[in-house]
Every structure is written in structure tokens, then in C-alpha cells.
Amino acid sequence: MALAELGLDLRRLPAPLAVWHARVDRAAWSAAPHSVADAGGRLVAVWGVDRRAAGDAMAACAAYALLEGLVWLELRLDAAEQEFPDLAATFPCAGRMQRAMADLSGLHAQGGHDVRAWLDHGLWSPGHVPLQSGAQPATDVAAGTLPAAYPFVRVEGDGVHEIAVGPVHAGIIEPAHFRFSLVGEKVLRLEERLGYTHKGIERRFTELPPLEAHQLAGRVSGDSTVAYAWAYCMALESAWRCEIPDRASWLRALMLERERVANHLGDLGALGNDAALSFGLAQFSRLREDWLRLSKEAFGHRLMMDGVVPGGVATDLPQPMLDRMRKHCDKIEQEVRALKVIYDEHAGMQDRFLTTGLVTPQLAAQLGLTGLAGRASAQSADLRCDHDWPPYDRLGVKMATHRNGDVAARVTVRFEETFESLRLIRTICTDLPGGPTRADLQPQVAPSIGAGWVEGWRGEVLVALEIGADGRILRCHCHDPSWQNWPVVEHAVIGNIVADFPLINKSFNLSYSGHDL
């Protein structure tokens, strides 16, 4: 393992995927990112935790993905110390995570280059740190109060001008501000400002019983409700040492792949529309609607919300429904393949897709691009393929990758992942093992931790869970792959024209809600 040379006391957690935990000193914390990077690993998440109410201290945490699995490192901070060594110098994607960590937990990256507030838009009470022990709810601001001015980076020179887009958009898109610096129509720089949908979810977790918090996890980002609920339940089952029945894991995978297909169908239609092919939007919307209606019939909810529960699943499926799903996959695949031919052979669409929003493999690796967008830029990482994760260890998932890193490549990956998910669903419907669909969880009598790590449709979702000796949630950190990928959109748009930004942005389709906890 890449971290073995650091001499860490790694303890493997009882999780379906290989997850290790270790407490480290400042020297090991600082050395870890270099060791991980040298081994080809990547940073997954950074967060803070305050255990002072339990008689302990504050701590900075980081999760790294390695070939062998996930490594969760924890740096305990002294009572008067609220700084930790910066990680962004090695992993640039840590920058915004550390800024959010400063807002939420009051822990700051020592030597960090960018120290601007990220989630606090100047509307929180002075000194309010939501995730610190004893923090009181923020006082309401007066109606009509405007956010504080944000110090965007200015680009100056002859002919340079700015376009400000958002945070309110002309549609149902969630709020975000995009500040473009341009010469003519060509983009020189894009800077994003998110955080407008901050909901206090991580604080709310600490107010819920562990056996009920999966419902909140499933509402972090509605388009990824299965992935988040599974990751939370996996973390709780890890913390409380519960093994779920085989049939339950297969049914969870069935829901996860249905979620993947639903989102890919929606995005393929939207990308066609952004390239002026409204026919594509109409056809993929029709297919997605049929798909969601069958999910509603099978699981009681169009998005399968609350279908994944601690210990297993909420709903079993009878054989007639499994047969219907399998046949529906055949029908959907036939139509999607026909639409793929139209997309591939439509000259106007390919002119908009090819070379637009380019992210080279080198840039993707440097910035930590992950998930389907990463795979479209030759970043071959997919938890379903890389780790022995039931039931994927028996399904033989074929990873879809591309090297070109443009909108066309991201569209191709979506098509290929759709076909593979349809194959997986058919296999699950055919080979679904028998037995129970849920196990009972027994709380631990001592403080416990657990991690859930799931390959959602957008990329890897992580839930790190800590439960105190009183049986209540001390900290639950949910991580969306959009944290890694939003900064890459700023690079992908450089050199393109402003009119191509909606197309480029949709080709990533990143989460606002999952990013702004």
C-alpha cells in the first residue's frame, strides 16, 4: 500500500469495500498526499469533526482512494489549534473543500492559497460556525439583506469584459453565479460561486437517530437518492457491524443501475436540445418517463426514494415484475441504439460536440476529475470495477472510457454506460438470489465509525459516519463528486465561446444541491 512507508497504524473497517482508518500526526498528514499521488491515488474528501462535547478534541479528516481501497486519515488538533497542513498544493480539488471546512467547522488550512469564504455568503451571524460543538442556530437576517460582495478574480487588458450569469437563472436550474471574462465571445476565464443552496444538512444529521438518517441522506441530491442512501446505510452497517442479505445487495444494485439509466437518458436528451436537436430531447424524455413510471410501480417512488434502508431494502420484487423490467430493458436498448446512430451521424450536432469543452487526460489527472466526466478524459476509475463490492464482484462490469475529453466523449460515455447498465439490470433480474431482503441492526455500546463508498451515476459518493457512545450521530459527512468536478468546468470552458457554456455545463451535469450541504 502507498501509505505503508509512513508506518501508520491502519485499522480496516468492517465494510463491503476495503476501507482503512488511522490517526496520524502532522508529519504523516503532510506526507500522505505526496505518497498517495506518487502511487497514482487521488483525494476523495476533506472534512472536520468536533468531538469536544464527548471529551475529545477537534480533528481534520481526509479520505484517499488507492488501488487497495479507501484510506481515512484523521489529524487530532490541540485545544488551541484550529489549523491543519494544506492539501491543495498536491491535490488542487482540496481547495474548495477546505474553504467549506473553514466555514462549517472553523478549521483552516495552514498555508492555503485561497481563504475566501465558500458557503458563508456574509449572511450568517458573526462568528457562527455551524458544526462546532455548542453552536446555536444562526439568527435570521433582515428581509432584503444582500449577500456580501464576493472578491472575484479580475482579468484586465484591452478588450476584456465580464458577463455575470446567475445566481437566478431563466429556468428551473438551481442557483449559482458564473462570472465570465471574455474578449469578444471567447472565454478567457470562468469563475464560479456556489453555496446558494446550503441547507444545513450536515448539522441536521446530528439531530436524527442513526436508523432514520438514511432518509436525509437520500435527499442530499434527488437525482442520486439511491447512491446516497446506499452509502449512508453502508456506513451505518459498517459502524454497527451488520452484514446485509445477499438478495438485498442485488436489489440495491438494481436500483442504483436504474438511477444511472434514468439520469443518462435525461442528460442525453438535454444535450441534444442544447445542440438544437429538439427531436433528441423529445425522444429521450419519452423514454425516461416510461423508465421512471416503471420504477414508481416497482418501488413506490419514481426516483426510488427511501428504497434503500438500514440492513437492506424496503421493497422486494416478485418474479413477474423482474420479468417486466428485463423486457423493458430490451425495448429501451433498441430505441437508444437507434438514437445513438442519429446523434453520431448528425453533422450539426457533431460540429457542436467535437473539441468543445475539452479536458485533456493530463489536466483531468492534475485536477482530480472523477466519475463519468473523468472516464471521458481517460481517468479509468469506477468502484464497480476496481473493488470487490457485492454484488458487482459477480456482475463483471465493463468500464466505459474515452480519451478525447470533449462534449462528444462525455456523450459517448453516457451511451456506453447506459447499455452496460441495461445489461446489468437484465442479469440481476435473471440471477437475483433468494432469501431475506433485510437484516436487523444492533447499536454498538461504544463510539463507532463507518464509511460508505458507492459509484453513483455522476461518480463516487462517500459517507463518513461517526456515532458517539450515547448512540447518536456525532458527525456524518456526505461527499459528492461534484466537489472535484466543478473547478474543472472552469478550465473546460476556456477558449470556447459563451454560447457553448450551457452545452459544456450540461455535459458534466454537476450537482448544486449535493455540493452545498
Domains delineated in the chain: 4-110 (3.30.460.80), 201-508 (1.10.645.10)
Measuring CA to CA, which residue among 14, 97, 55 is closest to residue 484?
A: 97
Asked whether 411 and 271 are in contact (CB, 8 A), the reply is yes
Adjacent-strand bridge partners of 313: 308
Burial label, 279 (beta-carbon count in 10 A; 0-12, 13-18, 19+)? middle
CA distance 231 to 463: 6
Q: 3-state SS of the chain: helix, strand, coil percent to 5?
A: 40, 15, 40
Q: Specify the pLDDT at position 140.
A: 66
Q: How many Å separate Cα 406 from the centre of its chain?
A: 21
Look up residue 464 and give its three cell numbers. Answer: 463518513
Taking residue 403's Cβ as centre, other Cβ atoms within 10 Å add up to 10
Q: Specify the pLDDT at position 1.
A: 64
CA distance 300 to 508: 29
> ∠306-310-314 over CA atoms, to 5°?
45
Q: Which amino acid is at 323?
A: D
Asked whether 37 and 366 are in contact (CB, 8 A), the reply is no
Asked whether 512 and 177 are in contact (CB, 8 A), the reply is no
Tell the residue number behind the cell numbers 499521488, with chain if given.
37
Residue 409 CB-half CA count within 13 A: 21
Adjacent-strand bridge partners of 449: 466
Q: Specify the pLDDT at position 145.
A: 77
Measuring CA to CA, which residue among 143, 167, 32 is closest to residue 91?
A: 32
Tell the residue number behind the cell numbers 448528425, with chain if given.
346
> ∠361-507-100 over CA atoms, to 5°?
80
Helix (H) or strand (E) holding 96: helix 94-105
Adjacent-strand bridge partners of 20: 12, 71
Taking residue 209's Cβ as centre, other Cβ atoms within 10 Å add up to 10
Q: Is 180 strand, coil or helix?
A: strand
β-pairing verdict for 69-76 and 19-24: parallel
CA distance 125 to 140: 8
User: Residues near 498 by Cβ (< 8 Å), separated by ≥ 6?
Assistant: 163, 180, 182, 185, 187
Asked whether 481 and 459 are in contact (CB, 8 A), the reply is yes
Find the DSSP H helices in 405-455: 407-431
Adjacent-strand bridge partners of 11: 21
> ∠297-303-307 over CA atoms, to 5°?
75
Measuring CA to CA, which residue among 120, 110, 111, 117 is closest to residue 81?
A: 110
User: Residues near 137 by Cβ (< 8 Å), separated by ≥ 6?
Assistant: none
CA distance 134 to 297: 45
> ∠3-5-6 over CA atoms, to 5°?
70
Ordered per-residue pLDDT tens for the chain, 517 residues: 677 777 788 999 998 999 999 999 999 999 999 999 999 999 999 999 999 988 889 999 999 999 999 999 999 998 778 999 999 999 999 999 999 999 999 999 998 889 999 999 988 888 889 999 887 776 667 767 778 889 999 998 999 999 999 898 877 788 999 999 999 999 999 999 999 888 899 999 999 999 999 999 999 999 999 999 999 999 999 999 999 999 999 999 999 999 999 999 999 999 999 999 999 999 999 999 999 999 999 999 999 999 999 999 999 999 999 999 999 999 999 999 999 999 999 999 999 999 999 999 999 999 999 999 999 999 999 999 999 789 999 999 999 999 999 999 999 999 999 999 999 999 999 999 999 999 999 998 899 999 999 999 999 999 999 999 999 999 999 999 999 999 999 999 999 999 999 999 999 999 999 888 8
CA distance 414 to 214: 28
**What is the pTM (predicted TM-score) of this model?**
0.97
User: Residues near 220 by Cβ (< 8 Å), separated by ≥ 6?
Assistant: 201, 228, 478, 480, 513, 514, 517
Sheet of 460-467: strand order equals 448-455, 460-467, 473-479
Main-chain phi, psi angles of 127, to 5 degrees: 80, 5
β-pairing verdict for 308-309 and 108-110: unpaired
Measuring CA to CA, which residue among 157, 168, 163 is closest to residue 191?
A: 163
CA distance 172 to 472: 37
Find the DSSP H helices in 206-277: 214-217, 225-239, 246-274
Q: Specify the pLDDT at position 244.
A: 97
**DSSP secondary structure code for residue 153 in this structure:** P
Q: Is 492 strand, coil or helix?
A: helix
Measuring CA to CA, which residue among 215, 243, 219, 239 is closest to residue 474?
A: 239
- Biggest CA–CA distance in the chain, Å, is 71
